[in-house]
């Protein structure tokens, strides 16, 4: 038997969590450094998987399958293709960066923090490798609790409200998903995600398939989040500690979109196409998320809340890309090979956005955390003129900000471009409205973030007043170390998108080969 790579990548963090439990509470530095260094193991495994999957990204690799609960046919079933591989790289990379960043920033309850965070990593990694519904669901729920506690214990002033809102909202989604999973099981007799998709549950009955589709869709839409299911996000982000925000924006939101691509699109192509093309509810919600989310950002004066809303807007691109791909299936006459290519490009864009938004917005939350740790204010109006005082920080924020607004040459551009490329060919009206989001995004990033915080004259008196004489220091070494991997990825993917797109394209092409 081969080495179970996927079990290893999923459960190494669990092992680390147990190690953390054993280390005495007083040895805080041991806990910090042991977690950070050992977390390089799953990261290395993810990179190994990324390399191996290159050979044939459309197929499942490293399959593991053991009977788990035979009575109800539940299996321990794992596998990765190009999409999961990319998501694993994202998860392990951001987790390691969070562990590292937390060494210097989490001062109280270190042991608990690392323990919970490691459990969270188990949940996230597990979702991306599971090929069994129950298994998937278990991991999905595992991620919920630690995140809830991360917000509730290490969060800001309104952390209790925010954490409970987060918990209940996502739990509501989970319930819908559980019901749908049971329904699919009753119909197909299997919890195997791939087999269930191949069986096309309820294909003969549009009403039932639509009901099941919406159950899944809403569960995932809450997580993404898609308008109007998004109001938990600004509260959760605003109150979460820096690392919590990073992982929330960087990975947790991606679980929902991953579910749409991995489960909903292959399993319910007809209803997905119907509600994307004939009754275009989904693209309308996507476009609302994009434009409305971006406009709402312009009205924010709280830095974290602004970036939280920007996630709503940016994840709208993901929804638009997926629904464009789905809509291609409903085109009159099938649309021909051109439509298939457009659908694949659109889906590539959506999947790529998962990764690029992860590194870019993760980076933005790190950057906000860094300034917040100095000043203890998130109010945009409290800042001003920092560009000349913190040139290094200013430079990194500029690169990340421009990546976020989709400047060509940086990572964010490609996902947007691919999404719009796919969407324009299939649903030009929604693409044309959606591009408006680009202007508003540029406006809130350059106006609200860059101009208010960095440009203009620095006013020492005001600074002392609002920050209670905070020390004005540029980025420290650990902050640079945290940001550089993300910045390098933004530039590398910007210059050579194939690094990621090759794998995603394999997955999308294989998926559309099946339809």
Partner 1 sequence: MQEFFFSLTWLVPVFPFLAFIIIILFTQKNNKLSHSISIGSMVLSWLLGWGVVFSAITTPHLGEHPFRITIPWFPTGTSTFDIGIWVDPLMAVTLFMVPFVCLMIFIYSVGYMGYGTDEVDPHYSRFFAYIALFATGMLGLVISENLLTLFISWEIMGLCSYLLIGFWFQKNYKDPNKITPRQAGLKAFLVTKVGDLFLMLGILYLYSQAGSLSYADTLFNHEFLKQLASTPALPIFGGWSAASAIAALMFGGAVGKSAQFPLHVWLPDAMEGPTPVSALIHAATMVSAGVFLVARIFPLLNVVVELDHTNPAMGLIAFIGAFTAIFSSLIAVAQKDIKGVLAFSTISQLGYMIAALGIGAYVAGTFHLITHAFFKALLFMGSGSVIIGCHHEQDMMEMGGLKDKMPRTFWTFLAGGLALSGFPLITAGFWSKDEILAHAWHEFLHQGVISWPFFVWLLLTIAAFITAFYTARQISLTFLGKPRGHHAEHAHETPNTMTVPLILLAFFALTLGFVGIPEEIVGQGNNWLHNFIGHEYAATPLSIPIMLLSGSLAIGGLGIGWLVYGRKPLLQGEMDPLEQGMKKIRLGWLYEAMRNKFYFDELYQVIFIQGSIKLAEIFYNFDYKWVVDPFINLIARVSRGISDLLNQFDEKVVDGLVNLTGLSGITLADLSGVTDNKVVDGLVNGIADMTGWVGEKVLSPIQTGKVQNYLLIALISMLAIIGIYLVY
Least separation in angstroms between residue 406's CB and partner 1 is 9
Q: Which 325-354 residues touch partner 1, going by CB under 8 A?
A: 338, 340-342, 344-345, 348
Which one among 13, 58, 126, 234 touches partner 1, defined by CB under 8 A? 234
Least separation in angstroms between residue 514's CB and partner 1 is 14
76 is an interface residue for partner 1 by CB under 8 A: no
Please classify residue 2 by burial: count the beta carbons closer than 10 Å to its beta carbon, then call 0-12 exposed, 13-18 middle and 19+ buried: exposed
Least separation in angstroms between residue 45's CB and partner 1 is 26
Least separation in angstroms between residue 374's CB and partner 1 is 20
Residue 132 pairs in a beta bridge with 192
CB nearer to partner 1: pick between 66 and 301: 301
402 is an interface residue for partner 1 by CB under 8 A: yes
What value, to the nearest 5°, has the Cα angle with vertex 215 and ends 213 and 220? 95
CB nearer to partner 1: pick between 65 and 338: 338
Q: Which 412-431 residues touch partner 1, going by CB under 8 A?
A: 413-414, 417, 420-421, 424-425, 428, 431
| Cα–Cα dist 322/269, whole Å | 11
Q: Which 200-219 residues touch partner 1, going by CB under 8 A?
A: 205, 207-208, 211
CB nearer to partner 1: pick between 115 and 137: 115
Angle subtended by helix axes 336-375 and 477-495, to nearest 10: 160
Q: 138-154 burial string, b = 16+ CB within 10 Å, else e?
A: bbbbbbbebbbbbbbbb
| Cα–Cα dist 63/67, whole Å | 13
Q: Which stretch binds partner 1 (CB under 8 A): 28-36, 146-154, 246-254, 266-274?
A: 146-154
**Two tokens, residue 478:** 């650990």
Look-up of token digits 């940086």: 410
Least separation in angstroms between residue 149's CB and partner 1 is 6
Q: Which 175-194 residues touch partner 1, going by CB under 8 A?
A: 175-176, 178-179, 182-183, 186-187
Cis? peptide before 225, omega within 30° of 0 = yes
Residue 302 pairs in a beta bridge with 379
Which one among 40, 69, 432, 481 touches partner 1, defined by CB under 8 A? 432
| Cα–Cα dist 356/250, whole Å | 9
Cis? peptide before 228, omega within 30° of 0 = yes
CB nearer to partner 1: pick between 136 and 402: 402
Least separation in angstroms between residue 413's CB and partner 1 is 8
Which one among 199, 474, 502, 515 touches partner 1, defined by CB under 8 A? 502
Which one among 9, 149, 249, 331 touches partner 1, defined by CB under 8 A? 149
284 is an interface residue for partner 1 by CB under 8 A: no
What are the CB-based long-range contacts (under 8 Å, 24+) for 424-429?
425/338, 425/339, 425/342, 426/277, 426/324, 426/325, 426/327, 426/328, 426/331, 426/335, 426/339, 426/342, 426/343, 426/346, 427/276, 427/277, 427/280, 427/283, 427/324, 427/327
443 is an interface residue for partner 1 by CB under 8 A: yes
Q: Which 472-501 residues touch partner 1, going by CB under 8 A?
A: 496-498, 501
Least separation in angstroms between residue 198's CB and partner 1 is 20
298 is an interface residue for partner 1 by CB under 8 A: yes
| Cα–Cα dist 448/413, whole Å | 20
CB nearer to partner 1: pick between 78 and 267: 267
Q: Which 88-127 residues touch partner 1, going by CB under 8 A?
A: 109, 111-112, 115
Q: Which 23-42 residues touch partner 1, going by CB under 8 A?
A: 25
Report which of 182, 237, 258 is spatially closest to residue 215, judged by C-alpha positions. Answer: 182
Q: Which stretch binds partner 1 (CB under 8 A): 2-10, 26-34, 262-270, 295-303?
A: 295-303
Distance of alpha carbon 188 from its chain centroid, rounded? 30
Pairing between strand 74-80 and 61-69? Answer: antiparallel
């Amino acid at each position: 038997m081969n080495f179970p790579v996927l079990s290893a990548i999923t459960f190494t963090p669990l092992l680390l969590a147990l190690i953390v439990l054993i280390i005495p509470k007083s040895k805080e530095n041991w806990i910090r450094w042991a977690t950070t260094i050992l977390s390089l193991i799953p990261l290395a495994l993810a990179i190994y998987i990324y390399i191996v999957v290159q050979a044939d990204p459309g197929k499942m690799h490293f399959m593991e399958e053991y009977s788990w609960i035979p009575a109800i046919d539940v299996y321990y079933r794992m596998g990765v293709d190009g999409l999961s591989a990319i998501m694993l790289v994202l998860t392990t990379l951001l987790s390691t960066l969070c562990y590292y960043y937390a060494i210097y920033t989490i001062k109280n309850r270190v042991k608990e923090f690392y323990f919970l965070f490691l459990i969270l990593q188990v949940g996230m990694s597990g979702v991306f490798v599971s090929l069994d519904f129950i298994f998937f669901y278990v991991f999905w729920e595992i991620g919920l609790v630690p995140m809830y506690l991360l917000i509730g214990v290490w969060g800001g002033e309104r952390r209790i409200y925010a954490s409970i809102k987060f918990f209940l909202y996502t739990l509501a989604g989970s319930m819908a998903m559980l019901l749908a999973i049971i329904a699919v099981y009753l119909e197909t007799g299997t919890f195997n995600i791939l087999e269930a998709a191949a069986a096309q549950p309820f294909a003969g009955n549009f009403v039932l398939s639509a009901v099941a589709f919406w159950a899944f869709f809403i569960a995932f839409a809450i997580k993404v989040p898609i308008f109007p299911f998004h109001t938990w996000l600004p509260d959760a982000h605003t109150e979460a500690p820096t690392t919590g925000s990073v992982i929330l924006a960087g990975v947790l939101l991606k679980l929902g979109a991953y579910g749409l691509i991995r489960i909903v699109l292959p399993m319910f192509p007809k209803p997905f196409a119907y509600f994307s093309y004939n009754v275009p509810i989904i693209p309308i919600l996507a476009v609302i998320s994009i434009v409305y989310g971006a406009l709402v950002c312009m009205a924010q004066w709280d830095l974290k809340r602004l970036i939280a809303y920007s996630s709503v807007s940016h994840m709208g691109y993901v929804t638009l890309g997926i629904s464009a791909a789905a809509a291609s299936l409903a085109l009159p006459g099938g649309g021909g090979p051109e439509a298939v290519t457009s659908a694949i490009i659109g889906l590539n864009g959506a999947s790529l956005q998962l990764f690029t938004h992860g590194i870019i917005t993760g980076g933005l939350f790190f950057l906000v955390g860094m300034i917040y740790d100095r000043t203890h204010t998130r109010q945009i109006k409290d800042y001003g003129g920092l560009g000349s005082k913190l040139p290094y920080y200013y430079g990194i924020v500029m690169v990340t900000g421009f990546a976020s607004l989709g400047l060509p040459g940086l990572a964010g551009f490609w996902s947007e471009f691919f999404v719009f490329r796919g969407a324009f060919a299939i649903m030009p009206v929604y693409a044309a409205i959606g591009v408006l989001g680009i202007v508003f995004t540029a406006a809130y990033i350059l106006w609200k973030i860059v101009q208010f915080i960095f440009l203009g004259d620095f006013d020492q008196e005001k600074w002392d007043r609002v920050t209670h004489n905070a020390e004005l220091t540029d980025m420290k070494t650990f902050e640079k170390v945290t940001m550089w991997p993300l910045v390098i990825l933004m530039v590398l993917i910007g210059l050579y998108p194939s690094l990621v797109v090759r794998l995603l394209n394999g997955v999308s092409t294989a998926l559309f080969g099946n339809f």
